Structure 1
Amino acid sequence: MAADLENAGCSGLWSIEAGSDPLLPLALAAASTSRMLLGTAVAVALARNPVVLGQAAHDLNVLASGRFVLGLGSQVKTHIVRRYGLEWSHPAARMREFVGALRAVWACWNDGAPLDFQGEYYRHTLMTPTFAPDPSPYGPPRVMLAGVGDIMTRLAGEVADGFAGHPLTTPQYLAEVTLPALQRGRELSGRDRSGFTVMAPVLVVTGSDAAATDAALAATRLQIGFYASTPAYRTVLESVGAGAVGPRLTELSKRGEWDEMGRLVSDELVEAFAVVAHPKDLVAAIRARFDGLLDRAALYAPYDVANDVWHTVLESATNERRADR
């Protein structure tokens, strides 16, 4: 699939941590492609160890000839504690240290720096030659951090090379909450926005015919309902005047009534959080909504999509680029 999409003009492929590991599929994609960017959007950092994840990311970046981007997210307390069985506290502080530890490990391997990272949550002070990989000719992977709230978003601006937005977002939220927080983070680090990438997975509803589009719409309602049931994302719902539906969705999620959650997602919520368009019009619709707010948009379809649909989308993107010239 990666080779087919690259040949059709796709410039990037992102892997999520859902039903499969986010890193393993990208090893296959790296070996099968030569131009497209490959990244995780996202891998759950606080369920992992910096050295273990740093090794996998180092190896992937070498395999991809420097095209790999490590997108990291903290996840929420319920999943870290109940799904992964780990401790939860001070997620932003932990994430700051996690990124610092990653960079210390990579500096040890690539630059020969002594490994001496000693934080409150992570401590790495031993790296013998047997366990150190060869330096990467491409340097360390770029790191993107995901965030929704002000604190984690500001941290991304301060310590990361880019920001991965959440699919449950709107142009208004990006303009009024996300971008100002990123700017404050960049100012704290003494850097401007140059070289910093703002990306978001954009929920899309599309299909080759009416039946496929209806199925896509139903699946997208379920996905919006799932995300909106998370209390941590309540501020995004409130920003579109739908704060009251959040607690109802949370209660349904606790009872496992997933289909009922989709029925609570109105047409207005779909319109707020997803781009609905025919494949040939999808790129123009995304550009109209997010131009000037995102540097990259990843097409996020939580349903099966036929390859010819993606080819139509990519062809329209190519035609737009030609028109811009």
Structure 2
Amino acid sequence: MTVLRGLGVTLPVDEGLTAGQYLDLARLAEEHGYSDVLVGEVAGPEVFSMLGMIAASTSRIRLGSGIVGVYQRTAVLTAMGFTTLASLAPGRVLAGLGASSPIIVEQWHGLGFDAPRARIEEYVATMRTIFRGERTDVDGEHVRSHGFRAGLGPVDVPIVLAAMNPRMLRLAGAIADVAFLTWTPPDEYGPKIALVREGAREAGRDPDEVGIAASFWAYAGDRVEEARERMRRFVLQYAMVPTHRPSFRASLSGLDRAADAWAAGDREAALRAVDDDAVAAMCALGTGDDVAARVAALREAGVDLPIALTPGAVPGDAEGPAQTIARVADAAAVRS
């Protein structure tokens, strides 16, 4: 499998934008030469509907989920979705998978959040069988399917696995085509990438055949100070997710204070614990050159595919993401 390289963009989630506005941003990314556009799935657009619109409205850019959870859909249904996309846009589809979080899986969807690594391993194996055009014969502890064969297969769809903690990073190296890292400052990528490589070697794979993608919050619009305060809230919200919290410990010195205040229901005190250094560690804000410098730092750290997550300065702001996409592309082109 060829390691994916380039510069990607993740469409902002939970922005209050319409599907048409998301589609405009995806088209803009293609016009400005981005290699990839990803669509997350939280409480905004449903991922396969949105990716289908993008696939039908673009001609070159790769498109994928960033990420789709493995609890909310069966492996068969997820593989059908990606196979359908690949039949329309062959060679342009990435299957981004991950465990999601207990909040989304348990509270929002009413499902059990159990054994994420074991589930993902069985899930990926099942999807690979379907992508090869073979019949399923899986009787795992978490994934079971017998006799299914996709009518649109076989397809060539790389599997991108989101990973943050050490065991999931090793698993990504063992079973994925690309490890998708996130919520990490540039100087912390080295040890995480080493764990991916370690997992690949333990599985008997060539570590260099596993690509490294990494996303980061980015804003290069005209309302930088508003965006900074919004991103401060993003950092806090994601740091308070139990499965994500360890990734923020090194960069957020006030993590314990924030967690205590959050648990006590004092959101304002929790927010005050997120200082400007923590925001700067996780987010790139300023001019297009400022964000392009973060892209360069990620590449220097060993990331093959940096991916800019482009929220607006406030909910409903479509202009900020558009400005970020355009200005970062121009600045990155000058740097490369």
Q: Within the alignment, does 1:206 sit opposite 2:224 as a pair?
A: no
Rounded to whole Å, the distance in 1 between the matches of 2:309 and 2:267 is 20
- Give the aligned partner of residue 6 of structure 2: none
Structure 1 residue 94 displacement after superposition: 0.8
- Give the aligned partner of residue 157 of structure 2: 141
SS of match in other structure, 1:14? strand
Structure 1 residue 233 displacement after superposition: 2.4
User: Aligned letter for 1:104?
Assistant: T
Structure 1 residue 225 displacement after superposition: 0.7
8 Å Cα contact 1:41/1:72 also seen in 2: yes
- Give the aligned partner of residue 232 of structure 1: 243
Post-superposition CA distance 1:91-132 (Å, at most 9, x none): 11111111111112223xx2xx3421221111111237xxx4
8 Å Cα contact 1:230/1:246 also seen in 2: no
User: Aligned letter for 1:117?
Assistant: V
Q: Within the alignment, does 1:160 sit opposite 2:181 as a pair?
A: no
Q: Which has the higher contact order (CA 8 A, sep 6+)?
A: 2
Q: Within the alignment, does 1:79 sit opposite 2:93 as a pair?
A: no
- Give the aligned partner of residue 266 of structure 1: 275
8 Å Cα contact 2:101/2:243 also seen in 1: yes
Rounded to whole Å, the distance in 2 between the matches of 1:316 and 1:14 is 21
- Give the aligned partner of residue 327 of structure 2: 312
Among 223, 228, 248, the alignment partner of 2:260 is: 248
- Give the aligned partner of residue 33 of structure 2: 9
Between stretches 295-304 and 155-164, larger displacement belongs to 295-304
Structure 1 residue 74 displacement after superposition: 0.3
- Give the aligned partner of residue 298 of structure 1: 307
Q: How many residues align?
A: 304
User: Aligned letter for 2:106?
Assistant: V
8 Å Cα contact 1:222/1:261 also seen in 2: no
8 Å Cα contact 2:217/2:309 also seen in 1: yes
User: Aligned letter for 2:152?
Assistant: D
- Give the aligned partner of residue 12 of structure 2: none
Q: Within the alignment, does 1:169 sit opposite 2:154 as a pair?
A: no
- Give the aligned partner of residue 117 of structure 1: 138
Between stretches 1-10 and 44-53, larger displacement belongs to 1-10
Gapped regions of structure 1 (runs ≥ 5):
none
TM-score by length of 1: 0.86
Rounded to whole Å, the distance in 2 between the matches of 1:186 and 1:283 is 30
Q: CA RMSD in A?
A: 2.1
The structure carrying a bigger helix percent of its residues is 1
Between stretches 83-92 and 241-250, larger displacement belongs to 241-250
Rounded to whole Å, the distance in 2 between the matches of 1:15 and 1:292 is 25
Rounded to whole Å, the distance in 2 between the matches of 1:77 and 1:310 is 31
SS of match in other structure, 2:159? strand
Q: Within the alignment, does 1:38 sit opposite 2:63 as a pair?
A: yes
Q: Within the alignment, does 1:197 sit opposite 2:211 as a pair?
A: yes
CA change 1:263–1:246 in 2 (3 A) is closer
CA change 1:308–1:90 in 2 (3 A) is closer
